[in-house]
Structure 1
Amino acid sequence: MAVVRVWRHHDTDHPGLIGDAFVIRGYELQVELIDTKNGPTSFEGVDVLLVLGSSASVYDHAAQQAWLTNEMTVLGEAIEQGIPVLGICFGSQMLCQHFGGRVERAPEGEVGWFEIEPIAGTGITSGPWFQYHFDHCVLPASATVVAANPRAVQAFTLGRHVGVQFHPEVDASQLTDWFLDDEAARNGTIDAAAHIAEATANHERLVRDADELVAWFLHRLQS
């Protein structure tokens, strides 16, 4: 059975709808929590690496010292071994930085549901997709932008690897878990109930959009 190694950075994160799309295609998910106590393990038998989001920034010096430098090193080892990477939000920013791009504080962050403009022929729909980021990628010359909006590059390819700034994995359940642990949601700065309600109302579309993204990601590996 083919294996997707999943790196998550918080207890409330899981591969969600993206993980489901891999599973229905016969993949086994191996989920690892990466933090100050737990680092990545061997890639033996791993076919795909899925890197999820984080509240940290790739340029965060404290995170670099605590765990991120090691994770970036191991990401490079996976890429050297030919393992294709699908990076989501923070995961996409790790990809960007590894290949020589930069990650910077965005002039305007995104929290909520936003439409994007994908290039025709990709497996990425216009959404709206859930976004939760305050950084953005300044891509290396080797990257190809496949989706964007006025605020940020939203998806790109680097060879066999794909990075997306938005969160295709989330559904109402995962958003609920996120917001329970989110100070901005607790103090009312973020309208958590509205975002969860939109995920609930559009669940079938979110499942379909996540499935199309994974299908496109895997199709690229065969071409």
Structure 2
Amino acid sequence: MRALIIRHHQPSDAGYVGERLVQRGFELVDMLLVPDADFARPHVTVAFPDPRAYDLIVPLGALWSVYDHAAIGTWIGDELAFLRAAVEADVPVLGICFGAQALAAALGGSVERAARPEIGWTDVQSDDPDLVGEGPWFQWHFDRIVVPPAAKELARTALAPQAYVVGRSLGLQFHPEVTPAGVQAWLDIGGAAEVAKHGYVPEELVRPKAGARERTHALVDNFLDRIARI
């Protein structure tokens, strides 16, 4: 089995999610959209593959907003078309943060600026805690998802929807994949100043959270068994 991991920029990676996918027998195929040299102005041309070449597609987070086409460039429209084609071809998608927002936009939902950011470890209210546990889950986002008409919202905070399912696909606003090293990498590329500006303490964000790996592994297992049915 092959899982396409869409990394929008460095240093994001699949972390605990990728770890569990490998343990479940997946070969991870890495696709980096924006190289380091283009990070400041990510107007790159991206050739997305045929989604039917994969058993699972996992678009990860990004520091841009899905609706900010002027900042991103043309590839966001191409990515939305790719995700739409994947769902139409019955290829499961596990969208994470920006990836979940992009999936929502591709399927008739939308993305809008949230009233405030959600950053750090956060409990969520879940209608299906056996699939999406109530956390805590790591958050780092400034936008919120408007769930597509055909989707079912599964989890939320007071600020934003946190999980939704559509067909064999699952969108997650939070970051189940994140490791302490991953958080530190985000802080190192400018995130520390950003979160401090909003009143968060960078050093507190990078502290390991007990049980995070195990909760993520359980989430991946339940997604694969119950939603993706792989």
Distance 1:193 1:66 in 2: 36
Are 2:203 and 1:193 aligned?
A: yes
Unaligned runs of 5+ in 1: none
Matched-pair contact (CA < 8 Å) for 1:155–1:162? yes
Which moved further from structure 2: 120-129 or 210-219? 120-129
Distance 1:187 1:64 in 2: 22
Distance 1:201 1:133, change over 3 A: closer
Task: Provide, for residues 178-216 of structure 1, a one-character-per-residue CA deviation record: whole Å limited to 9, x for no partner.
Answer: 10002543784342211111xx242xx111111111111
Distance 1:44 1:76 in 2: 12
User: How do 1:160-171 residues align onto structure 2 when only pairs under 5 Å count?
Assistant: 160-171=168-179
Q: In the alignment, residue 139 of structure 1 is paired with which amino acid?
A: V
> 1:111 maps to which residue?
119
| Total equivalences in the alignment | 218
Q: CA deviation at 1:80?
A: 2.3
Distance 2:7 2:103 in 1: 15
Please give the TM-score of this superposition, normalised by the length of structure 1. 0.91
Matched-pair contact (CA < 8 Å) for 2:52–2:86? no
Deviation beyond 6 Å, 4+ runs, structure 1 = none
Q: In the alignment, residue 108 of structure 1 is paired with which amino acid?
A: R
> 1:219 maps to which residue?
225
**Over the residues paired in the alignment, what is the CA RMSD in angstroms?**
1.9
Q: In the alignment, residue 204 of structure 2 is paired with which amino acid?
A: A
> 2:24 maps to which residue?
25
Distance 1:136 1:188, change over 3 A: closer
> 1:67 maps to which residue?
75
Task: Provide, for residues 54-77 of structure 1, a one-character-per-residue CA deviation record: whole Å limited to 9, x for no partner.
Answer: 111111122453321111122222
Distance 1:209 1:66, change over 3 A: same
Distance 1:191 1:160, change over 3 A: same
Which secondary structure state, in structure 1, belongs to the residue aligned with residue 62 of structure 2? coil
Which secondary structure state, in structure 2, belongs to the residue aligned with residue 178 of structure 1? helix
Q: In the alignment, residue 222 of structure 2 is paired with which amino acid?
A: W
User: How do 1:121-160 residues align onto structure 2 when only pairs under 5 Å count?
Assistant: 122-160=130-168
Please give the TM-score of this superposition, normalised by the length of structure 2. 0.88
User: How do 1:24-103 residues align onto structure 2 when only pairs under 5 Å count?
Assistant: 24-35=23-34, 36-43=44-51, 45-63=53-71, 65-103=73-111
Which secondary structure state, in structure 2, belongs to the residue aligned with residue 123 of structure 1? coil
Which moved further from structure 2: 33-42 or 97-106? 33-42
Distance 1:107 1:161 in 2: 27
Task: Provide, for residues 129-160 of structure 1, a one-character-per-residue CA deviation record: whole Å limited to 9, x for no partner.
Answer: 11011110111221111111101100000111
Task: Provide, for residues 9-43 of structure 1, a one-character-per-residue CA deviation record: whole Å limited to 9, x for no partner.
Answer: 11110000000111111111001011315442343
> 2:8 maps to which residue?
9
Q: CA deviation at 1:44?
A: 5.2
Matched-pair contact (CA < 8 Å) for 1:7–1:34? yes
Distance 1:186 1:125 in 2: 28
Unaligned runs of 5+ in 2: 35-43
Q: In the alignment, residue 51 of structure 1 is paired with which amino acid?
A: P
Q: In the alignment, residue 206 of structure 2 is paired with which amino acid?
A: I
Distance 2:191 2:4 in 1: 30
